[in-house]
Amino acid sequence: MFCSKKKSLEVERRVKANDREYNEKFQYADNRIHTSKYNILTFLPINLFEQFQRVANAYFFFLLILQLIPEISSLTWFTTIVPLVLVITMTAVKDATDDFFRHKSDNQVNNRQSEVLIDGKLQNEKWMNVKVGDIIKLENNQFVAADLLLLSSSEPHGLCYIETAELDGETNLKVRHALSVTSELGADISRLARFDGVVVCEAPNNKLDKFVGVLSWKDSKHPLNNEKIILRGCVLRNTSWCFGMVIFAGPDTKLMQNSGKTKFKRTSIDRLMNTLVLWIFGFLVCLGIILAIGNSIWENKVGDQFRTFLFWNEGEKNFVFSGFLTFWSYIIILNTVVPISLYVSVEVIRLGHSYFINWDRKMYCSGKATPAEARTTTLNEELGQIEYIFSDKTGTLTQNIMTFKRCSINGRIYGEVHDDLDQETEITKKKEPVAFSVKSEADRTFQFFDHHLMESIKLGDPKVHEFLRLLALCHTVMSEENSAGQLIYQVQSPDEGALVTAARNFGFIFKSRTPETITIEELGTLVTYQLLAFLDFNNIRKRMSVIVRNPEGQIKLYCKGADTILFEKLHPSNGDLLSLTSDHLSEFAGEGLRTLAIAYRDLDDKYFKEWYKMLEDANTATDKRDERIAGLYEEIEKDLMLLGATAIEDKLQEGVTETITSLSLANIKIWVLTGDKQETAINIGYACNMLTDDMNDVFVIAGNTAVEVREELRKAKEILFGQNRSFSNGHAVCEKKQQLELDSVVEETVTGDYALIINGHSLAHALESDVKNDLLELACMCKTVICCRVTPLQKAQVVELVKKHRNAVTLAIGDGANDVSMIKSAHIGVGISGQEGLQAVLASDYSFAQFRYLQRLLLVHGRWSYFRMCKFLCYFFYKNFAFTLVHFWFGFFCGFSAQTVYDQWFITLFNIVYTSLPVLAMGIFDQDVSDQNSMDCPQLYEPGQLNLLFNKRKFFICMLHGIYTSLALFFIPFGAFYNVAGEDGQHIADYQSFAVTMATSLVIVVSVQIALDTSYWTVINHVFIWGSIAMYFSILFTMHSNGIFGIFPNQFPFVGNARHSLTQKCIWLVILLTTVASVMPVVAFRFLKVDLYPTLTDQIRRWQKAQKKVRPPSSRRLRTRRSSSRRSGYAFAHQEGYGELITSGKNMRAKNPPPTSGLEKTLYNSTSWIENLCKKTTDTVSSFSQDKTAKL
C-alpha cells in the first residue's frame, strides 16, 4: 500500500487547501530541511565507515590485531593503537564540528517565523511546522517559506513582484500574478479560510522555469503555470502583502531539489596514497614470504642444531609453522614503511596550509572586513591541480551594477574627458563630476565627468534633447514616491534603470505613467505624452518602441535596440551619421561596454490610424496572431532617423580580467555557468576578455530539440576540425577510453581560439546520453565555454560531466544559493561572500570576498600546497624505506628470526621524534619560488595539473632511492665491522655496536638528505633539522646510561654502548663513509639535471638567487579597440518585457497608497551604490597605473 502510494506521488500531486487531514494521507514531506550529514545516532557508524575507507586506517587496524598476538609480535601493541585512535578521534572531532555548523544553519532556517492560516485565524508558525495545503501570508521583503500558489495580493489584479537572486542569480524583479478567481479573495481572512480548492499538479522536480497544474474550485477548473507560482528562496518585493497556498514543502521544493547532496571529498593524492598503501602492503607480503621461506629453510637445515640449547622438545615447533609465524612477525616489523605518523603529519601540514590561507592579508577584503577562509583542511594540495573552473556570473564576475558611461549623439561622443591639450585622458580623482542642474531630483549616485553634454543641453541642442527625451519615454520602468517624497524607480532590468537614471540627471525626469499616458519633467517643465502604442521587446526583435503623441499633437515613434537590428531599419538619408555612429559603437564595444542604438520616426496621423486599426484586428485574430503582430511592428519600425547610441558599463568585480588572463596562462579552462540571459553573459565574456574578436569562431548552440542540438554540435565540430574527420552522430559512440584518448590527441592538434555558448534548453538535450560526448568533445576543444539560462542542477550536471569523462580536477565558484549544487559537485567548492546571502559560503570548501583572490588561492597557496605535499611524501617514503628495509637485509644474517636490527626504542622514536619535525617544517614552510613570482609566471602551475611532482613513477624512484640507502646503511657498516678490532684491541663487531652505528648513520643521512631537499630555509628549518640530530644524541646517551638501566633494567638493555662505540674513530669514519655513499649520487644527479635540463622553476630560482630585479615594463591596455562584436545593452533577452502589463494597466494602482519600504535592492539612490561606484572608478584607475599582471 505504502509503495503504491509513493508510486502515485511520482506521477502527480493532489493538494487540498486548508485541509491538513486530507493531505496527510499522502504522506507529503513537511517543510523541515536537512543539509547536515549526520545525527547523534548515525555519526559514529557513518564517520567510522568514511574513515576506514582510507585504506591506511584499515591497514593499521589489521596490524593492531596482529600485535595483540604474543607469538608473532616483536613490537608492543600501544605503538599502533595510540596514534590510530588519536588520528581517528581528531578527524571525527573535525567532521562533527563541520556538521554542527550545518545543523545550526538548518535550525536557523527551520525556526524562521511565518504567518499561517489555521482554524480561521492567522497564527505565527515556525517554517518547519508548515504543511502542504496551508495558506500563508507573506509581507514585503520576506523570504518565501515554501513553493506557493499565489492566491491574492495587495497589488491590482493579484500581481506581486519577486526577486529570484537565490534561485537564478538575477537581482532584477519578476512579476507573478494570481488567477482572477482567487485574487478576488483579497485579504479577507474568513473567505480565505473557506477556500477549499484542490490543486492537481506535477510531482516534485528541479525545473525552475516550468510548472503544470490545474486548480479545481467551485465546479470549474483553472490551468496553472509558472507565472502563478512563487518558489521557496524568492523574496517578496514592492508588494505590501500576498497570500499563497503551499504546494511543495521542505525537500520537495524546487530550491532543495536543485541543492544537491553533501559529498565526501578526497584529493587525488589521497586516492593515490590508498593505491600505494595497497601496493606497499603487497610488497611487504612478498618480503615476508621471502623471509618466511628463508626461515623455514634455515630452521630445517641449521636450526635443528640449536634446539638442544634452547630446551625445545623435538615436535614442539616444526620448520613450516616457524616460517608461518615468522611471516607475520616480519609483517609487523616491516610495517614502518607506512607508519601512522605519515597520516598525522599529512593532517598537520594541511592544517598549517589552511592557516596560511586564513592569515593571508593579500586575500583580505577591507571593504567588507572579510578574510579568506579555508573551511576544510583536507583539500589544500588539490588547489594546485585545477584544470577546469566553473564560475557563476552575477555577483561572482560582476557586481551587477549598471552605469551609464558614454553616449554618441548626432555623431559626437560624450563621456570622454579631455585635458588642456585636448588629449583623451582617463578619469582621475582630480576631475570634477558634472554638477547637475536639477539637484533636488538628481540621483546622487550617478556621476558623469564630461561637462560638454550639460553644455549642449543648456544651449538647447534639439538632437540632444530628443535623445534624452527618448530615454525618459521608451522603457518599462515603474515609478513611485517613498515616504520622504523621493522618486523611486522599479526596474525590470538594471540596464533600463541606468538609462532612465541618466536621463533624469540630465533634466529629463520620468515622473509617472498610466496605461494611456507618460509624464516626464523636461528641464523643469511637466509634459504629459499620450501613449498610443507599446511595441514590446522580445529576443527575436531585440528592440522596443513606444508611439506617443506630444502636447503639440505630433505623433512620434521612439525606438531603442541592438544596433545590428536597428541599423537595418534606418532611412537612407542617415548614411553619414550611420557610419560615424557605427565607429563610435565599435569603440564602445572595444572597451567592453554594452551598447544600444537610439532612433525615432515622425508619423503621419492618418497612417498611424490605419496601422493601429490593423493592429487591433491582429490582436483579436485567432489564427497566426503573433506572426501578424510581428509583421505590423516591422512595418511601422522603418525609415527611422538615427539619434545616436548609449554605452553602459556592467561593472566587473575588481581584478576579474587580470585574474582570468592569469589563470588562462596557467592552462586553466574557465567555463561560465549562469542563470542569466545569453546577451548578458556574452557581454560579460567580452568585458573580461574571455571572448575576443581575435577568436577564430564563436559557436552558439540554441536548438530547441535534441535533433537540432545534435546537428548544431556536428556543424560546429566540422568547422573546428575540418571535414576530413568523421564524427559519431550521437548514436554510434565509440568506446569511451578510446574516445578520450583520441580527444586528448585532437586537443593538442586544434589550432586557433574558439568559444562555445549554449543555453539551458539546448543544454538539457545536450546532456542526454547520446549527445553529451559530442558536447564534451566540442567544449573541451574551446578556449571559453559559456552556458546561459542554466538551472542550479544543470550547473552540477555540467561539472559532473567533466569530472567523470575528462578525469580532471574541477573547481566551482559562486556566491548564491543557485550555485550550491555546483559547489558541492566539484572537487573544490569556493564561495564568495557576496550580496546573495551566505548559502554558497556555507556549502563551500574555501571562501573569500572577491573573485580576484582566486588567482592567489590557486597560483600561490594551491601551488605551494601541492609542491610541499609532494616533496613531503617523496621524502617520507624515501626515509622509511631506508629505515625499514635494513631489517630485510639483516634477516639473512640472523637466521630469519625476526630480530630487529635497531634498539626497540629507536624504532619507536624514529618517526615520532628524530625525523618528524624536519619533514613537517619542509611540508609547511618550503617554497620553490616566491609568491610574487608564482603570480607573475602562471606557467609554473602546470606541473600540478600534469601530476608531475608525485605519482606512481615518482614513488618508485623514492622507493629505489630508499632501497639503495638501506643497502649502504647495512652493508658498509657490516663490511667495516667484519673481523675488525677497535683501537683498544677489543672487537667492536657486537650486535649492539652495529645497531648504534647504523642508527646514527641513518639519522645523519636522512637529515643531510632533507637539508638537500629544502628549497626555502627559515630559522625553524635550521632548528628542527640540526636540533633533531642533537636530540638523537642526547636521547641515545640518556637511554644507554647506567642510571636509567638501574631504574628499568628490562627496558634499556643497551647499557654503556653509545659511550663505548661513539668514542671509536673508526666508527665515525664508517658513519662518514655511509653518509657520503648515500648522498653523493643524489647530489651529482641533481647538479647535472639542473645544469643540463633546467625546468622553469629552476630557471626562476636561479634568477631569484641572482636577485635580478629587472622586469618587463608594464604594458597598459587601457583602451583595446575591437572592430566588430558590438553587444546590445538589452540584458533582459530571452524574456518578454512588461509592455503588455503596462498598457493593460494591471500593474497600475487605483490611487497612490503609502509606499512600501525596503526597496534597497532596486533603488539607484542608495549610499552604498555611490560608494561602490566611486571606489570602483578610483580602484580601476589605480590598478591600471600599478598593473603588475600585465607583464604576463
Between CA 1134 and CA 541 the distance in angstroms is 11
Helix 952-977 to helix 991-1013 angle (10° resolution) is: 140
8 A C-beta contact, residue 1078 and residue 968: yes
Cell of 351: 592544517
Helix (H) or strand (E) holding 247: strand 241-248
Cell 544596433 -> residue: 563
Residue 1002 is inside which H or E element, if any? helix 991-1013
| Separation between Cα atoms, residue 1097 and residue 867, nearest integer Å | 11
Confirm whether 392 is a catalytic residue: yes
Report d(CA 186, CA 152) in Å as an integer.
5
Separation CA 451–CA 393 (nearest Å): 34
What is the rounded distance in angstroms from the CA atom of residue 591 to the CA atom of residue 683?
A: 11
Q: What share of the chain is helix, strand, coil (3-state, %, to 5)?
A: 50, 15, 35
What is the rounded distance in angstroms from the CA atom of residue 473 to the CA atom of residue 192? 41
Hey, what's the cell of 827?
A: 572537487
Using CB atoms within 10 A of its CB, is residue 506 exposed (0-12), middle (13-18) or buried (19+)?
buried
Question: What is the distance between the alpha carbons of residues 860 and 652, in angstroms, rounded to a whole number?
Answer: 23
DSSP assignment letter at 337: G
* Bridge-based pairing state of the strands 784-788 and 669-673: parallel
Strands 828-832 and 810-814: parallel
Q: What is the DSSP letter of 226?
A: G
CA distance 197 to 220: 10
- In sequence order, the β-bridge partners of residue 114 are 125
- Checking 704-712 for CB contacts under 8 A at 24+ apart, the result is 704/761, 704/762, 705/765, 706/765, 706/768, 706/771, 708/762, 708/765, 709/762, 709/765, 709/766, 709/771, 710/765, 710/771, 710/774, 712/762
Spatial CB neighbours of 846, under 8 Å, sequence gap ≥ 6:
357, 372, 373, 374, 375, 376, 383, 828, 829, 830, 831, 857
Q: What is the CA radius of gyration of the chain?
A: 37
Gap between the Cα atoms of 19 and 193, Å rounded: 10
Question: Rounded CA gap, 923 and 264, in Å?
Answer: 25
Bridge partners of 642, per DSSP, are 599
**Angle, vertex CA 230, rays to CA 229 and CA 236, nearest 5:** 145
- Dist. CA 165–CA 815, nearest whole Å: 10
Measured in whole angstroms, how far is the alpha carbon of residue 228 from the centre of its chain?
A: 33
Give 90: exposed, middle or buried? Use CB within 10 Å, 0-12, 13-18, 19+. Answer: middle
Residue 1053 identity (one-letter amino acid): P
Residue of 147, 270, 392, 845 marked catalytic: 392
CA distance 15 to 176: 21
Buried b (16+ CB within 10 A) or exposed e, 389-406: bbbbbbbbbbbbbbbbbb
CA 620 to chain centre: 50
Give the active site residues.
392
